[in-house]
Amino acid sequence: MAGKNSADFATPLRRVLIALLVLVLIGLFLFWRIDSPRAERMRANFVDRFVPSFEWALTPVTKVSRMIAGFQSYARIYEQNQELRRELQKMSAWKEAAVQLEQENAKLLAQNKVRIDPKLTSVTGVVMTDSGTAFRQSVLLNVGARDGIVDGWATMDGIGLVGRIAGVGERTSRVMLLTDPSSRTPVNIQPSGQRAFLTGDNTELPLLDFLESPENVRAGDRVVSSGDGGVFPPGLLVGQVAEGSDGRLRVRMAADYGQLEFLRVLRTHPAEVLQDTGALIPPLAPDFIGPVLPMAGAAPVQNDSAAAELAPPPVPVPGTTERGGQEND
């Protein structure tokens, strides 16, 4: 019962205190809003009297406000950091694009600096795709018959020989690389002058076959196309001689087969075929003794009657008649 009476007594007292507090606050608000010199002096005196003594209470509030300002500053720094990261990623992409353009420009400039026969003109094509397999090494160019490409023409990158055209379409053409297993390229090894065949074996170092004197060939010797067979123009750089892990002589290619982006297709004109041998074979002397050589353009002998007509007349022998009988006394 005592506990219940104390609870009943505390409730009205709490309500009275709250009402008094509300009235004091309302009065303080109204007093603070009064616009008069006397009220202003009283407010100043109140602030001077009580506010300095509450600095210890305001210290946590000040520190909390500073912490909040610091967190806000960290948030702004974080946002700036993220923005800088995004800009750095964009700059990295632009840098990569610039590096690729620089590499392409360097390759094109290298192609322009390649010294080839002045009679040979060229068409530059872009490598569209690498269609090489385990049994075939070839790439596809974006130039074809409409660009004047002919099957069999040689192709180079900025430094050395790459292969030859082995299939022409209207807008594309296929290049069979020198490393293709079916590729056989006549080459000349300098300075020894040895001639050999560069045989592709689907590796980065093709073989050198059919060397007459392998002992005269050293690692590092220059390998160029010989022009034999009319497949490639003579003098095109192929690479350098290297010794393989199997002990056989191979060629380290001058062309960068790992990064074929642009290829230069050489317009190879066929060699002139001699039709008239008169400029090479001098005319026969009048007192020439021996078989008569056929003249250029002369028709071959078809039968015995034609041969009899072309044969010189028989020389008569003394003591015989024209009919072949002996003369009578």
pLDDT in tens, 266-312: 887 655 444 554 444 555 566 656 555 555 444 444 444 444 454 55
Q: Are residues 224 and 138 in the same domain?
A: yes
Are 198 and 206 a contacting pair, CB within 8 Å? yes
Query: CA 76 to CA 157: how far, in whole Å?
Result: 53
Do 104 and 126 lie in a common domain?
no
- Terminal-residue alpha carbon distance, the chain: 199
- If asked whether residues 102 and 131 sit together in one domain, one would say no
Nearest Cα to 265, choosing from 234, 232, 239, 227?
232
For the chain, the domain total comes to 2
Q: Which of 162, 156, 165 is nearest to 111 (CA)?
A: 156
**What pLDDT does 307 receive?**
46
Domain with 231 in it: 121-267
From its phi and psi, is residue 239 left (phi > 0), alpha (psi between -120 and 50) or beta? left
pLDDT in tens, 87-131: 888 887 787 777 777 767 766 666 565 555 556 678 888 888 776
> Domain for residue 194, yes or no?
yes
CA distance 18 to 7: 17
Question: Secondary structure of the chain: what % helix, strand, coil (to 5)?
Answer: 40, 20, 40
Partnered with residue 196 across adjacent β-strands are 187
